Amino acid sequence: MFNLGTYSYGISRKVTFDKPGVVELLCNVHPEMSAYILVLETPYFATTDGRGFFNLENIPPGDYSLSFWCEHRGFISRKVSVKSEQITVIDAVLHTDEIKQAGREIPAVAGER
């Protein structure tokens, strides 16, 4: 966990994250608030849109391990083979029940359920 603490208005602090991993941010004032920072060792990353879809571009052809991260499940990895001049589609559902409970529509994808 990571917490900068509280300090006066107008004061800022800088932090450099030099080790890969997940950093959880907490709020001393609002305990229900939290956030996460993923410190990665790669320039290839994306966040999902409102429907849960993402797009990675300009990935060189080759075999990769694609990792997904979810607050409730941690990391999930899939083997991916990227071919030149082709679109590669990866399907993964991370936490279907929690998405339904939050009232969000679940994308129609095949894969882990």
**Per-domain residue ranges of the chain:** 1-41, 43-113
What CA–CA distance (Å, rounded) separates 22 from 34? 13
Q: What's the sign of the alpha-carbon dihedral 39, 106, 113, 97?
A: positive
Amino acid at position 41, single letter: E
User: Residue 2: what pLDDT?
Assistant: 67
Confidence of residue 100 (pLDDT cuts 50, 70, 90): very low
**pTM for the full model?**
0.64
| Token pair for 47 | 């966040």
Residue whose token pair is 């300009």: 58
